[in-house]
Chain A
Amino acid sequence: DTEVTQTPKHLVMGMTNKKSLKCEQHMGHRAMYWYKQKAKKPPELMFVYSYEKLSINESVPSRFSPECPNSSLLNLHLHALQPEDSALYLCASSPQVSGSGRGQNEQFFGPGTRLTVL
C-alpha cells in the first residue's frame, strides 16, 4: 500500500479562522513532509519530520504550525492566514529522510488539500 491520505480535500477559511490539515500514512515511513504548491509551479517544501521530530523548517511563517503526533500522522495547524496562502497543500512520506539505500528516499504524495483563504 503506497497511499498517503489527506483531509479535508477542500478548505475555505477566513483570515481570522483557525483550522487544521491532516495527513496519514501506514507504510511505516519515518519521514513526512508538508509542501505548498501554487498553480503551474512545482511543489515547494515547507517542513520535514524525521522520526517524529521536526528536522527542516524552510523559513515558513509562524501562522503555519506543524505537528507530528505519531509516526503515521502529520498535522498542519493554520491561523491568521493571508489570501496569498491560498494553494494546494501536499503531504508526502518516504522511508527515510536521507537514507543511503535504494528506495529509501522515494517520496509518495497524498492527493492534497485545496485551501482558499478569503
Chain B
Amino acid sequence: EDQVTQSPEALRLQEGESSSLNCSYTVSGLRGLFWYRQDPGKGPEFLFTLYSAGEEKEKERLKATLTKKESFLHITAPKPEDSATYLCAVQGAGSARQLTFGSGTQLTVLP
C-alpha cells in the first residue's frame, strides 16, 4: 500500500526566512510525485510533478526535489502570499494507480 507522510504539520516563517517542507513516501513503482498548493476553502492548485530521483523543478520561490524515499519543497525568501497548505501526493504502479495524498503542511508566512 502506498504511503505518504508530510512534515512538519505546520510551519510559521518570517517573511524572507527560507525553509523546506518534507514529503516521505513508500510506493510500489513510482509513476509520479505531485505537489499542490491549497488555499482555505479552495481546490488544490497544481505546482509540480517529479518522476525520478534526482529530478528538480522550480517555479518562482519554490523548488521541488526528489530522492528515492522523499521529496522536498524548498521555499526561498517566502512572502505572506505563499501562506497556504502544501499537499504532496504519489501515484504508484499498482492496480488502482490513483493518487495517495499526505496530510499536508500548513505554511504561514508572517510579514
Contacts and interface: CB of A to CB of B under 8 A. Distances in A.
Interface stretch (B13-21, B41-49, B70-78): B41-49
Q: What bracket does the count of chain A residues touching chain B fall in?
A: 20 to 34
A17 interface: no
Interface in B45-76: 45-46, 49, 51
A97 B46 contact: no
A42 interface: yes
Contacts of B101: 42-43
Interface stretch (A59-67, A75-83, A108-116): A108-116
B46 A2 contact: yes
A109 B36 CA distance: 10
Contacts, number: 53
B46 A106 contact: yes
B34 A107 contact: yes
A19 to B, nearest CB: 19
Given A43-B44, A88-B43, A105-B97, 17 more contacts: A6-B43, A42-B87, A42-B101, A42-B103, A42-B104, A43-B101, A45-B98, A45-B99, A56-B98, A97-B97, A98-B97, A105-B31, A106-B46, A108-B46, A109-B43, A110-B43, A114-B41
A105 B91 contact: yes
Nearest to B44: A109
Given A42-B101, A42-B102, A106 B43 contact: no
A88 B41 contact: yes
5 nearest A-B residue pairs (beta carbon): A42-B101, A109-B43, A98-B97, A112-B43, A109-B44
